[in-house]
RNA sequence: UGCCGAAUGGUGUAAUUGGUAGCACGCCAGAUUCUGAUUCUGGAAGUCGGGGUUCAAGUCCCUGUUCGGCAACCA
């Protein structure tokens, strides 16, 4: 009794279902063409990753399916080639390939101009002399219809002439626009004679000074989809009201290919913000150190933090696809990451907050090497040697003079196991003037070499350690959620959302002691510091002899959770 | 007091289109463990409200409520 394939396949989301239906019905000759259409005016974040994985993923599920990479670069005042490169990098890093299909809406400016002429000749577009303010006044409100522009009834010839002269640069910026001739009384504000072209005497990052009029999004986007023979044009919910306009342009221009726009809910994540504007505010306000700050949900930030492309793709698959507003818990993202890293990351020992341990009965000046397993989840990762000697570093939190119940770690008179090494028993402590324990004296049991005792006695705790004379020093940056509130935008009465910033979102630890195997770490390396979490070498600030690690994610810490619960 | 859209455990997302409310994360408990990790077992927790149709409603109808989007020469 085997499961049928159907039972193993997750159900299709509403978009995939619809595409499957279209293909089954022979629509578009069974072709599937999608596109990812960013504007090159900022950095990609994980919300974009959702759209990227949807568009590229969906296309990849069909024989011959393709996903185009297209830049919606119709507003030269806010766009820049710099962003094009970073966006391309990010999409590639996520693991997607657009092949030959890299396009720019600006590639279509000539064609789009011709399309505009078609509309004018049909009487479906007119040149309007209203300025910004006047146009707004004519537009009406959501509850009241707008009024026709006084120029709406210009002749086709006059419109053709004026539009050509707009293109020739005869008119001032803002003095004239080309508008669609639709309906100023429409319930849908978007249909109230929207602007198609505006005058902008600005160089474009690709077309230079060729144009001084630029097409608007609504006109450009759908027709670009049509030019590229896109079959399914997937976008986020806020474009829903614009679908009638998307369809209107395509129908009125009379192009043969009419892609289907389908909207889905964009991604929100707990403990962070996603809007471009707010991200920019954090970067410019200095609350973070740049677009690639590891606390940001930007793709470059996640990459620097140590997130893997696969974990982000898995996340995008698991969150599903629907039309309702949603806020995903970061915990789901983190879970996928840990799940992957648990399988792939090699284990190392690193002491973040060092406390000196001296093994009184271990000979001075001697050392030995012990075997340590690189990855218990993957035997092929093999073993390594870890040096042991009389003076060690352990974690400050692994010793307590006056331990609470169920504390399995080191305390006076207690015995614990040093991971892969020996059982040690604490016999004494040395304190500084302030009464802080600065040195812990222990004895070790030579019979327990490797971590097992021949007499079968058990120890409850196993702690990590690093030999003091062999330790490699490093800076470790411990990251936590950028905001303290699940929904940072939910600020108190009159409050600023930035008041929800987590003051402890970054803790920089210097003088951390790492096992020597980590000495040659370079950018791109990652590992698990046992009992701490997953870390990666910071690609920007780390250098040989000046190692910097970022904490990608902590391990689940049941003990800390219990402690916290008992404390509060 | 407009138009459009959406409401299923804490968070997401399914339910053969009218027929056993499933899955994942999170949470709780236990077992295992040389990582208080991992793994394993079990548990708590849900159809926005009110009517109606029907043998049968998360699903269909009516009605209410709540939430989101829309008045850039932005995308």
Q: Which tokens is A565 given?
A: 């619960």
Q: What is the pLDDT of residue A236?
A: 96
Mean pLDDT value of segment A240-269 = 97
φ, ψ for residue A381 (rounded to 5)?
-70, -15
Q: To the nearest whole percent, how much of chain A has pLDDT over 90?
A: 95
Q: Which of A334, A283, A339, A309 is nearest to A524 (CA)?
A: A309
Q: With 70 as the cut, is the pLDDT of residue A8 above it? A: no
Q: What is the ipTM of this complex?
A: 0.96
Distance CA A240, CA A219 (A): 15
Nearest nt (C1') from A377 Cα: B38
Q: Which tokens is A509 given?
A: 């630890």
Q: Which tokens is A168 given?
A: 């020739």
Q: With 50 as the cut, is the pLDDT of residue A7 above it? A: no
Cα A530 to Cα A413, A420, A447, A464, A465: the distances in Å are: 25, 12, 24, 7, 10
Protein CA at A494 to nucleotide C1' at B28, angstroms = 38
The 3-state secondary structure of A344-380, one letter per residue = HCCEECEECCEEEEEECCCCCCCEEEEEEECCCCCHH
Q: What is the pLDDT of residue A568?
A: 64
Protein CA at A295 to nucleotide C1' at B75, angstroms = 26
Q: Are A28 and A228 in contact (CB under 8 A)?
A: no
Predicted confidence band of residue A549 (pLDDT cuts 50, 70, 90):
very high
Q: To the nearest whole percent, how much of chain A has pLDDT over 70?
A: 98
Q: What distance lies between CA A205 and its chain's CA centroid?
A: 26
Distance CA A82, CA A71 (A): 13
Q: Which of A446, A300, A296, A453 is nearest to A359 (CA)?
A: A446
Closest residue by C-alpha to C1' distance, nucleotide B35 = A531
Q: Which of A257, A259, A255, A252 is nearest to A232 (CA)?
A: A259
Mean pLDDT value of segment A490-510 = 90
Mean pLDDT value of segment A126-151 = 96
Nearest nt (C1') from A236 Cα: B69
Protein CA at A275 to nucleotide C1' at B37, angstroms = 35
Of the given ranges (A199-203, A289-293, A349-353, A561-565), which has the lowest mean pLDDT? A561-565
Closest residue by C-alpha to C1' distance, nucleotide B15 = A11
Protein CA at A57 to nucleotide C1' at B73, angstroms = 36
Q: Are A236 and A266 in contact (CB under 8 A)?
A: yes
Nearest nt (C1') from A331 Cα: B25
Distance CA A350, CA A515 (A): 6
Q: With 60 as the cut, is the pLDDT of residue A156 above it? A: yes
Of A276, A278, A353, A449, the catalytic one is: A276
Q: What is the pLDDT of residue A286?
A: 96
Predicted confidence band of residue A92 (pLDDT cuts 50, 70, 90):
very high
Protein CA at A236 to nucleotide C1' at B49, angstroms = 30
pLDDT tens digits for A171-183? 999 999 999 999 9
Of A18, A39, A473, A498, the catalytic one is: A39
Q: Is A564 annotated as catalytic?
A: no
Distance CA A158, CA A162 (A): 6
Protein CA at A268 to nucleotide C1' at B44, angstroms = 27
Nearest nt (C1') from A129 Cα: B73
Protein CA at A371 to nucleotide C1' at B34, angstroms = 12
Q: With 50 as the cut, is the pLDDT of residue A325 above it? A: yes
* 3-state helix, strand and coil shares in percent for chain A, rounded to the nearest 5: 35, 25, 40
Closest residue by C-alpha to C1' distance, nucleotide B6 = A324
Question: Strand B: which positions are within 7 A of a protein CB?
Answer: 1-8, 10-15, 17, 24-28, 34-39, 67-75
Q: Is A238 annotated as catalytic?
A: no
Bridge partners (DSSP) listed for residue A262: A234
Cβ within 8 Å of residue A480, ≥6 positions away: A502, A504, A505, A506, A507
Q: What is the pLDDT of residue A405?
A: 87
Q: Are A416 and A409 in contact (CB under 8 A)?
A: yes
Q: What is the pLDDT of residue A241?
A: 95
Q: What is the pLDDT of residue A5?
A: 40
Q: Which of A129, A142, A234, A251 is nearest to A188 (CA)?
A: A142
Q: With 90 as the cut, is the pLDDT of residue A118 above it? A: yes
Protein CA at A28 to nucleotide C1' at B28, angstroms = 52
Mean pLDDT value of segment A301-316 = 98
Q: Are A162 and A129 in contact (CB under 8 A)?
A: no
Helix axes A156-168, A109-121, angle to 10 degrees: 160
Instruction: Give the dihedral sign, CA A17/A20/A22/A25.
Output: negative
Protein CA at A24 to nucleotide C1' at B12, angstroms = 29
Of A16, A229, A266, A385, the catalytic one is: A266
Q: What is the pLDDT of residue A6?
A: 40
User: If you ran DSSP here, which 8-state letter would residue A485 be given?
Assistant: S
pTM of the predicted model, to two decimals?
0.95
Closest residue by C-alpha to C1' distance, nucleotide B69 = A238
Q: What is the pLDDT of residue A1?
A: 31
Q: Is A39 annotated as catalytic?
A: yes
Higher pLDDT, A495 or A317: A317
Nearest 5°: the CA angle A436, A440, A442 is 160
Mean pLDDT value of segment A301-318 = 98
Per DSSP, the residues of A46-63 read HHHHHHHHHHHHHHHTST
Closest residue by C-alpha to C1' distance, nucleotide B36 = A559
Q: With 80 as the cut, is the pLDDT of residue A277 above it? A: yes
Per DSSP, the three-state class of A286 is: coil
Cβ within 8 Å of residue A187, ≥6 positions away: none
Mean pLDDT value of segment A19-41 = 96
Q: With 60 as the cut, is the pLDDT of residue A4 above it? A: no
Distance CA A412, CA A116 (A): 84
Protein CA at A134 to nucleotide C1' at B3, angstroms = 23
Nearest nt (C1') from A173 Cα: B73
Strand A391-395 with A267-269, pairing = unpaired
What is the length of chain A?
Answer: 568
Helix axes A46-60, A14-24, angle to 10 degrees: 20
């Amino acid at each position: 009794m085997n499961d049928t394939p159907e039972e193993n396949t997750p159900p299709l989301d509403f978009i995939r279902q619809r595409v499957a239906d279209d293909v089954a019905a022979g629509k578009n000759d069974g072709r599937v063409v999608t596109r990812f259409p960013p504007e090159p005016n900022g950095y990609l974040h994980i919300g974009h990753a959702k759209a990227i994985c949807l568009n590229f993923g969906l296309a990849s599920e069909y024989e011959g399916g393709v996903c185009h990479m297209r830049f919606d670069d119709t507003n030269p005042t806010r766009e820049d080639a710099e962003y094009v490169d970073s966006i391309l990098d990010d999409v590639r890093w996520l693991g997607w390939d657009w092949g030959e299909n890299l396009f720019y809406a600006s590639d279509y400016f000539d064609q789009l101009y011709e399309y505009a002429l078609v509309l004018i000749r049909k009487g479906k577009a007119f040149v309007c002399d209203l300025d910004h303010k006047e146009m707004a006044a004519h537009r009406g409100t959501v509850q009241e219809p707008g009024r026709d522009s006084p120029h709406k009834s210009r002749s086709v010839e006059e419109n053709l002439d004026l539009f050509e002269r707009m293109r020739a640069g005869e008119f001032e910026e803002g003095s004239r626009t080309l508008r669609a001739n639709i309906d100023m009384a429409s319930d849908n504000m978007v249909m109230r004679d929207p602007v198609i072209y505006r005058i902008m005497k600005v160089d474009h990052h690709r077309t230079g000074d060729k144009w001084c009029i630029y097409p608007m999004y609504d006109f450009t986007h759908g027709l670009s989809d049509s030019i590229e023979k896109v079959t399914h044009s997937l976008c986020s919910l806020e474009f829903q009201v614009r679908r009638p306009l998307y369809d209107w342009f395509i129908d009125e221009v009379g192009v043969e290919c009419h892609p289907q726009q389908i909207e889905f809910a964009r991604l929100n994540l707990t403990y962070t913000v996603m809007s471009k504007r707010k991200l920019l505010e954090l970067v410019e306000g200095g609350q973070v150190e740049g677009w690639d700050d590891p606390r940001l949900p930007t793709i470059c930030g996640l990459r620097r933090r140590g997130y893997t492309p696969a974990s982000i793709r898995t996340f995008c698959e698991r969150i599903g696809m629907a039309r309702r507003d949603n806020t995903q818990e970061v915990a789901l993202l983190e879970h996928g990451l840990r799940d992957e890293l648990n399988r792939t990351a090699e284990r190392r020992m690193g002491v973040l907050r060092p406390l000196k341990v001296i093994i009184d009965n271990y000979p001075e000046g001697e050392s030995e090497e012990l075997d340590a397993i690189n990855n218990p989840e993957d035997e092929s990762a093999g073993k390594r040697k870890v040096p042991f000697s009389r003076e060690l570093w352990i974690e400050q939190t692994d010793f307590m003079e006056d331990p609470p119940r169920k504390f399995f770690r080191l305390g006076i008179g207690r015995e614990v196991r040093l991971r892969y090494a020996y059982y040690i028993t604490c016999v004494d402590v040395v304190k500084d003037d302030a009464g802080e324990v600065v040195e812990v004296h222990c004895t070790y049991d030579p019979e327990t070499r490797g971590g097992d005792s021949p007499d079968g006695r058990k120890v409850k705790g196993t702690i990590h350690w690093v030999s003091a004379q062999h330790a490699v020093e490093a800076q470790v940056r411990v990251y936590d959620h950028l905001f303290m509130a699940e929904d940072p935008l939910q600020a108190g009465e009159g409050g600023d959302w930035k008041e929800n910033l987590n003051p402890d979102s970054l803790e920089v630890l210097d003088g951390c002691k790492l096992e020597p195997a980590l000495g040659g770490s370079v950018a791109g390396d990652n590992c698990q510091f046992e009992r701490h979490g997953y870390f990666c070498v910071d690609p920007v600030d780390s250098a040989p002899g000046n190692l910097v690690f970022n904490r990608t994610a902590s391990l689940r810490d049941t003990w800390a959770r219990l402690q916290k619960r008992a404390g509060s």
